[in-house]
Structure 1
Amino acid sequence: MITTRLLVHAMVREDGTVDADELYTIAGALGMTDQQVRLCIKRLVAEGRFTHEGRGRRAVLRTTADITGAIAPETGYVRYAYRQDRGEAPWDGTWHLLAFAIPESARAARDSLRDTILRLGAAAIQGGLYVTANPVAPHVEAAARQLGVLGSLTVLTTRDLRLGEHRDPATLAARLWPLDDIAERYDRLAALARAGLDRLGDTAPLAETDQLVIALELAAEFTDAMNPDPLLPPELLPQPWSGTHARHLAALCWTRLLERGPEATGGARPRLFRLYADVIREAAHP
């Protein structure tokens, strides 16, 4: 689902501005009211995320930072997912374990390190002990160093992981990660991408507003599917895997959108398009 805040973030153009008239038009196409947009703009300005020049639909918003990431996963993460889909990142059978024991006096650092580990796709085995199939230790160590708790972090690897009586890697993955829930998110992404491809493949011309709506809905659904995905190697996933199929359809849909480009519509594209352009073209045509 696209919120008004997410919409404003996604509409930031290459020069860091948001055209209010275009914003209200796209919001209307998504079923949002002008009042919702006005209140959202007011909050974003009050938070210092945007400055505001002009009034109503003639206004221009200017971002104080590149916040495109609010609606899109980090490009390196997306690239790695598509490398897995192409069979370019096979699993070597190694499990990567991360453990820490940080006292209550450093609770903020402890919570931040835990969030970093979970965001990188690791699963909790028990208190303070996490596991993943991907070599994320350098990223975790960098975060721990920045937080000043590197001395409390333990990193190790094993090829013999057992949980109770279970040691089969695919069985362990199914027990540690919510694969059914992740697959359902990807099924929704696949359905949306398929619908977008149908609209983009129609012989009738598609207005720029309609193209942007397709792009924003696709980006939001893509983020919703990717963010909780630990990007487990294909060897650990049910086959065929919903994520592979959905990402393929999403790449095709993005490619169709990108082919139309700003020169085809006469306007500058949001940063969102630049963020996806290279990685999606690679995925669709490796």
Structure 2
Amino acid sequence: MPPTQDDHVEISTRVLVESLIHEDQTVDAGELYAVARILDMTDLQVRLCIKRLVTEGQFVQSGRGRRAVLHATAEARRALDPNVEFVRFMYAQDRGEAPWDGIWHMVAFAVPESARAARDALREHIVHLGGAPLQGGLYVTANPWEDLVEAEVARLGIGDCVTYLTSADLRVGGIDDPQRLAARLWPLDDLAHTHQRLARITRIRLERLRGPASIDQPQLLTIAIELASEFARVMEADPLLPPELLPQPWPGTQARRLVAQCWQHLLQHAAPAPAPRLFRLYADVVHEVAAPAQKPAPGDQG
């Protein structure tokens, strides 16, 4: 079934190569070209990408053409790894195992212009963790994040410029109801749409995996890479708000349930043959979903 405009997932050649790294830290060029063809990438695009990655020191190449083997460096291997701790926390929230305690967590920073690069890096990290701006240099989230922020602050060497605080009484523009605050501080409509798209994309691929038609290894790898890429894109923007702050039913819950089901089928199909390390990394997450255990919030290590 060829992709339609609605279910097409944009994959770059770089992401494709990184996704096909096997457990022995190699990429088989024959496998790479086969999957690239399904994704409508030309051989020239693949060759140019390989050349660029080798030049950057991301890979070392042995052999030529489709018989070549790319050997990944440590930096390349980390590129598409899912953040397992955060993914587990998402599913724990969905199962009601991470209820909100009503506490807002805030970080304020005043970094001088002379350290602009560190200031920008800290702001980017805070937003990545789901922080929403309250006013200049002051950000809030609903989850414990102090350990994660402190680690980045220590790395940047700006500890004297950062303040941490918590409150059970947050009022913004006269609004103090937690759900209304969440709707004001985070783009919930946009987030809902991204989750709905993820659910649609996943459902289409799940139907293929459940269908009677056989799926060869390149097609299986293509589905896995598309699913992982789209999931990572959605996860990047998700502030991991607790269900108590979200409209119900929340489309993210259904989308993540479909993703877990899709990976279960992918893992069953991939079992007889060697598969990229992407499969093992997501297998760890699927195992947690299948056998749930209480997980703390990211950064809340007690």
User: What range is the shorter-chain TM-score in?
Assistant: over 0.9
Matched with 2:53 is 44
Query: Is the CA contact 1:121–1:231 (under 8 Å) kept in the aligned structure 2?
Result: yes
Matched with 1:230 is 239
Q: Relative to structure 1, is the Cα distance of residues 75 and 67 closer, same or farther in structure 2, using a 3 angstrom cutoff? A: farther
Quote the Cα distance in structure 2 between the aligned partners of 1:257 and 1:92: 36
Query: Is the CA contact 2:106–2:140 (under 8 Å) kept in the aligned structure 1?
Result: yes
Quote the Cα distance in structure 1 between the aligned partners of 2:187 and 2:262: 27
Structure 2 counterpart of 1:4, from 13, 16, 29: 13
Matched with 2:132 is 123
- Of 123-132 and 59-68, the range deviating more from structure 2: 59-68
Quote the Cα distance in structure 2 between the aligned partners of 1:198 and 1:23: 25
2:283 corresponds to which letter in structure 1? A
Structure 2 counterpart of 1:17, from 26, 35, 50: 26
User: How much has 1:72 moved relative to structure 2?
Assistant: 4.5
Q: Relative to structure 1, is the Cα distance of residues 141 and 83 closer, same or farther in structure 2, using a 3 angstrom cutoff? A: same
2:208 corresponds to which letter in structure 1? R
- Of 254-263 and 230-239, the range deviating more from structure 2: 254-263
- Of 171-180 and 58-67, the range deviating more from structure 2: 58-67
* Partner SS state of residue 140, structure 2: strand
Matched with 2:285 is 279
Quote the Cα distance in structure 1 between the aligned partners of 2:36 and 2:207: 22
Quote the Cα distance in structure 1 between the aligned partners of 2:80 and 2:200: 19
User: How much has 1:127 moved relative to structure 2?
Assistant: 1.0
Query: Is the CA contact 1:90–1:233 (under 8 Å) kept in the aligned structure 2?
Result: yes
Q: RMSD between aligned alpha carbons?
A: 1.2
Listed one character per residue, the Cα deviations across residues 15-36 of structure 1 (whole Å, up to 9, x for unaligned) are 0100111100000001111111
Matched with 2:193 is 184
Listed one character per residue, the Cα deviations across residues 100-144 of structure 1 (whole Å, up to 9, x for unaligned) are 111011111111111111111111111110000000011111111
* Partner SS state of residue 67, structure 1: helix
User: How much has 1:66 moved relative to structure 2?
Assistant: 5.3
1:214 correspondence with 2:223:
yes
Aligned residue pairs, count:
283
Matched with 1:103 is 112
User: How much has 1:279 moved relative to structure 2?
Assistant: 1.1
Quote the Cα distance in structure 1 between the aligned partners of 2:74 and 2:289: 28
1:67 correspondence with 2:73:
no
Structure 2 counterpart of 1:58, from 51, 67, 77: 67
Quote the Cα distance in structure 1 between the aligned partners of 2:252 and 2:79: 21
1:248 correspondence with 2:248:
no
Identity of matched residues, %: 58
1:152 correspondence with 2:161:
yes
User: How much has 1:262 moved relative to structure 2?
Assistant: 3.7
Q: Which runs of 5+ in 1 are unaligned?
A: none
- The alignment's TM-score, normalised by the length of structure 2, stands at 0.91
Quote the Cα distance in structure 2 between the aligned partners of 1:272 and 1:130: 33
2:222 corresponds to which letter in structure 1? V
User: How much has 1:256 moved relative to structure 2?
Assistant: 0.7
Query: Is the CA contact 2:82–2:281 (under 8 Å) kept in the aligned structure 1?
Result: no
- The alignment's TM-score, normalised by the length of structure 1, stands at 0.96
Listed one character per residue, the Cα deviations across residues 228-277 of structure 1 (whole Å, up to 9, x for unaligned) are 000000000111001100000000000111122342xx3x2111111110
Matched with 2:206 is 197
* Partner SS state of residue 269, structure 1: coil
1:171 correspondence with 2:180:
yes
1:41 corresponds to which letter in structure 2? I
Quote the Cα distance in structure 1 between the aligned partners of 2:271 and 2:77: 18
Quote the Cα distance in structure 2 between the aligned partners of 1:285 and 1:184: 29
Quote the Cα distance in structure 2 between the aligned partners of 1:273 and 1:121: 27
2:280 corresponds to which letter in structure 1? R
Q: Relative to structure 1, is the Cα distance of residues 73 and 126 closer, same or farther in structure 2, using a 3 angstrom cutoff? A: farther
Quote the Cα distance in structure 1 between the aligned partners of 2:80 and 2:194: 16
Quote the Cα distance in structure 2 between the aligned partners of 1:280 and 1:39: 35
Query: Is the CA contact 1:12–1:68 (under 8 Å) kept in the aligned structure 2?
Result: yes
